[in-house]
Amino acid sequence: MTGMRSRAKPLGPETCACGIALAGSRYVAAVVRTALVLTPLVGCVVAPLAISPNELAPPSVSASWALDVQQRSRVDVASVAGPALSTAWMEAGIGTAESALIGLEPGMDYEAWLTLEDGTRLSSLAFTTPAPPIDFPALTLAGSPGWRGLLVVPVLGPTPYLAVLTPKGVVVWTTPLPDDPLVGGRPQLMRDGTGLWYGVMNPDPASLVGVNWAGEVVLDEGLTGFSHDFAELEGGEMIWIAAECAAVDGAPICYDAVHRGTAEGEVRTLWRADETFDPLVDGE
């Protein structure tokens, strides 16, 4: 794994290991602090915790693991300074779980471990986060953290980036943008928390781009007349401001309109500024 070191720890007192079920019993044998004890059968680790760099979104990393347990699980991360972050709970059952660890500072040593809902600690892993891109431009930070104490911003320079920064301006996630000043507008978190939206405000074609935490583009969809702002609604539909032009009393005017995209792929106009235009009041 380029630019990142990881060091798995062997099974220890706080690690859950698979055991052999006793005949006709709901219990398994497990070694805890060298003593043989009987513990409730909750399952086992199918694939141990792994930490991988997001090559398309340095310096961020992602965690993956697979359990066969009847409890939800999550990843907790800490440094020598204390707790760093905890992921959302993953549903119980058999299968591989993945979660981006967004907010860890670059070039830092961390320890991550799996935690079950009952507090059981399954396995741990020490790792060092990668460095940010070498061509990431210097910047002066202005704004207020609005998401988990982090700031999402487009950063223009010789190589433009969409970036997530800490309140101190430390870069914790990046993805390169096309070299165009009208790309990267109004970045915002996806409602399901799996990545970011940003706008491409070129007039032809204007579009909305979705990128996941691995830095992969998951959606690039044209939006009719899209000009400068948008929002994701609770049901996943998008609403946006569009720039349009029309003739009012024979005179051409350009105005804003609000459009909504439906799940069926239709575009519905919710409001048009020209319909509120009164030549007697607004004509001068």
- What does the DSSP 8-state code read for residue 194? S
pTM of the model: 0.75
pLDDT (tens digit per residue) in 42-82: 467 788 999 999 999 999 999 999 988 888 999 999 999 99
The pLDDT assigned to 96 comes to 86
Q: Are 200 and 211 in contact (CB under 8 A)?
A: no
284 residues of the chain, pLDDT tens digit each: 345 555 544 333 333 444 322 222 232 223 223 233 333 434 677 889 999 999 999 999 999 999 888 889 999 999 999 999 999 999 877 778 999 999 999 999 999 999 999 999 988 999 999 999 998 887 655 555 566 678 888 887 788 899 999 888 899 999 998 776 567 678 889 988 899 998 887 666 788 899 999 999 999 888 888 887 899 998 888 999 888 888 777 778 888 899 998 877 788 999 988 787 666 666 55
Q: Which long-range contacts (CB under 8 A, 24 or more apart) does 218-225 make?
A: 223/259, 223/261, 224/259, 224/267, 225/257, 225/259
pLDDT (tens digit per residue) in 247-274: 777 778 888 899 998 877 788 999 988 7
Q: Are 208 and 186 in contact (CB under 8 A)?
A: no
d(CA 150, CA 72): 27
